[in-house]
Structure 1
Amino acid sequence: MTILSYEILLTLAVFILYFLYYRKFKFFTIVEKLEQHNIRNKLPRGKCPPSYPNGWYRLCRSGELKSGEVKEIKLCGRHIAYYRGTDKTVYAVAAYCPHMGANLGIGGQVKFRSCIECPFHGWAFDGKSGLCVNSDKLDPKVVSTYCYPDIERVTKNQKGEYLQKISEGEVKIKTYLVKELKGIVYIWLHSQESKPWYDLVSEQSDHLSLRAESVNYVNCHIQEIPENGADMKHFDYVHYSAMDIIPSWLVQLRWEMRTKNAKDPDFLEKMTHPVEKCRTYQKSIFDQYLANKELIPYLNVLLLDGYVILFNKYKFHAVWATGFQMGPATVALYVKSAIFEVLFKQAIQPVEKFTQKVYHTVFTNNYLPYWISAYLLHAELRQVIFDVKLWNAKIFSETLRYNMKNHADQALLNWRQWYSQFYEGSAEFEKGLDVLEW
C-alpha cells in the first residue's frame, strides 16, 4: 500500500510538473515593460524622412482577437478600432464615431455579425462598407450633418446660426483593408489611400508551429530598424557575442551576409548559395516569394551564414538564413540548421513619431521541445537588444558618407534607395494629423 501511494504521488507530481511546463512554454512570450517616464524619444534625431511610410503593418496576432472582441490601437498616426465579427472576419475602422466622437474601440461591441456599435449612443457601422446601419439587413441610416462656420472663433453665419446644415443622407466612417495570414492580422495603411501595391506572401509553413513571441519598445525613426538587415558590417561589431554569459574567448559568432533587391537583373546569380544543401532549401523558399510578381519591386532579400568559432580557432558552419523584407515594416527570416528549422517574423508598429513597437514571432518544427523554442526566442532577443541600445541613442544620418569601394556601403546605399519608395505622400499626410476629418 505504501509503495502504491508513492507511485501515485510520483505520477501526480510528474503530471503537475508537465502541466506547468506545458502552460509556461507552449506559447512563450517576453514583453518589455514600457517605461512610463521614458524620455528617450525626446532626444534630437536630426532631419528625418516622414515617420509613417506606406505599406502593410501588423495589427495583431490572430489568437489575440476572439470572435466578438473589440480593441483599439494607435498606429502610424491613426486611431483605429478593430474587431472580429461573429462571422469570424477581422475588420478595422477609423476609431471615432461621427455622431459625437466616442472611441468605438473602447467599449464598442460587435453588432449584426460584421458591425461595430458605438458605446455612447448605439450607432452601428458596417466593417465592410463603413456605412452607419439600422438593422441586421444593413439598411443605411439617414442623418443630417451640421458644422460650425468657424469652430475656432465660434462665429455666426449669415443666417445668424452657430451651427449650419451642410448635407443630409447616409453617413459612413473610414474602413481599412485587413488580411489574416498564417496566424497574424495585417492592415494596409497608405497616406493617399491608394490600393495595395503588393500582397504579403502566405508562406508554406504548415510543418512549423507558432511557439513564441517577444515585444520591444524602441525609440528611433522607423527606418533605422529594417535598415539593420542591410547593414553587413555591423554584424562584426554588434553581434559577435553568442551570449552575455559566455566569454568571447570561448565562443564567438561570425556572420557572412549578402543582400539585394529582388528586382535586380542579377539577383539569382548573386544570391544563389554555393553549398548544395543550402541551395536546395533556399530554392524552395525563393519559389514562394518570387512567384508573387507584384511583390518583387517591394521585396529586399538577405542571405546570412552563421559560424560558431571555438577558442578563436575552430570554425563551424552552424546555421544559414534567408530573410525577406516585404515593404517598410515586415520581415520573414528563415533559419535552417542540421537539426531544426525556425521562421522568425519581425513586425514594426509605429506608435508615435519616434516610438516603435517591435514584434518577433517564432515558428518552429513540431517535434522540437517547447523549452527549445523558448530558448531560441531568448537567443534571438539577445541579438535584438544589442541593436536596441544603439537605436535608442542614435540620430538619423541625413547626409551620408559611403566608401563606395566597400561592398557593405554599396549595399546600404542601394537599400536606402529601395526603401525611399514607401514615403510617397507621407509628408503631406503627417502635416494634417492634427485635423480630424470624418
Structure 2
Amino acid sequence: MRMRLDFEPKGDALGRYYTDPAVGQVFISLFDRCQASSILDLGSGAGSLTFAAARRWIDARIQTVDVDLGAEEHIRIGMASYGHLYHNHLVADVLDENLPEIFGGKRFDLAVCNPPYTRIKWREGFSRILAEAGMEGLRTLSPWTLSSDIMFIAQILRLAEPGAEVGVIVPDGLISAKRHRAVRQALLERVRVMRVVQLPRRSFRGTEAQAHVIVFRNERGRGESIEISNLDTDGVSYPISVAKDDACIRMDYGYHRSTKGHLRNAFSLRSIGAEIIRGSLSSAEARQCYEPVFHTSSFNQPSAFDYRLDGSSLTPDRPGRRIAQSGDILLARVDRELQKKICVVRQGQAVLTDCIYRIRVPANWRDSVIRGLLSDAGQAALVGAARGVGARMLSKEDLLDLEIVTP
C-alpha cells in the first residue's frame, strides 16, 4: 500500500510544514541509540517522522500526539503499511500543561518532533511547562522570544526519561538569531546537545524557510563540544566541532564553516558606533523622483568597493529624502539575496529607497566592515540574520548586532 500525501493541506492554519520522507530518513539516522522501547512523536502531523522511526526501531512502541482529528487515521494506515503494530495515537493539544497527567506519568526513551512554524499566544500554563522542564529561567524573557519550537522542546523534556535522546527540527531563528542567544544558552545548560545539522532550503513542502535538526540527550550539559554539520546532495557533511560558548553565539554550519574558530575576533556595527539609516522613498515615489535614485536594482556595478552615483549637490537629508554620498556603505534591506547587495560609494550622490540601508562608520573601520560583510562569514551571518521566505528582510537591530569577522 502506498502512503497517502493528500493529508497535507496548503496554507495550513496551524503553521505546519510537513517533512519530506527523505529528510525524515536522514533525521532518524542522526540518533545514536541502537534500540528504543518507547518513542514519542509530539505534534506528529502526517507522520513522516513516525514512519521513519518505525522503520528503524521496528519493535518500539510509538506514541503520536496531534490536535488534528485527521492525523490518527492517516498515521494508522501508514503504520499498517509498514507492518508496525505497536502504535497509539492521542488527539490533544500538544502544549497542554496537563499532558504528563494524561499519559499517567509514562515516560519515553526517545522523542522526535517537527514543531509548527508559528507564534503562539502565551498562556499561564506555559510557566509550569518551563519550570517542570528545568528551563524556568526562560520565563523572564519576552513571550515573543518563546516561540513554538522552544515550548515543544520544554514539553518533550517533561515526558522524556533521563538520558532519553531527542531530535527536533527547529527554524533558523532559534539556531542563529541574536535575540535567541539566551534561549540557546539555556538549552545548552539544560540538555546535552550532541549535534546540529543544517538542512537545505525547500526541505519542507510549502516553504523555503531555513531549518536545522538538533539532537540532544535529556541530561545536563557538561560543556562538551557540539558537532555541527550540513545536509546537501552528498549527504551529511563531516562535522565541525564547536565549543559550547561559540554555540551560544550561533549553531549554524554555514557560519562556523566560514569563521573557522575566529568568533572571538568578531565585532558588531553597534560596538563601533555605526549609524544605520533606512531610505525613505517608496517604489511609487522612486518612479516619480526627478533626482538620481538608488534601489536594490542599482547594485549592478563591477566592484562593490567603487560605486559611482550620478547625483551631485543634492540637498542634505530631510523627511522623505535620505541621501547616499561618498564613504557610505549601502546594503539591501529587503531582497531575495540581500547578502549579495552591498557596496561602498566612492563618488556621487543618490536618494535612497526604503529597501536600502545606509551605513556610516568611522573611516578607519570602513574597509573592515565592507570586507567583513562580503567575506564568506559575513555572507553567512547576513543570511542567518535575515528573516522571511522569498524576499527576505533584515532588521536594523539585527544588523547592528551582527557579528562581523575581519578576513
What is the TM-score of this pair, normalised by structure 1? 0.24
Q: Which has the higher strand share?
A: 1
Structure that is richer in helix per residue: 2
Tell me which structure has the larger Cα radius of gyration: 1
TM-score, length basis structure 2: 0.25
Q: Which has the higher contact order (CA 8 A, sep 6+)?
A: 1
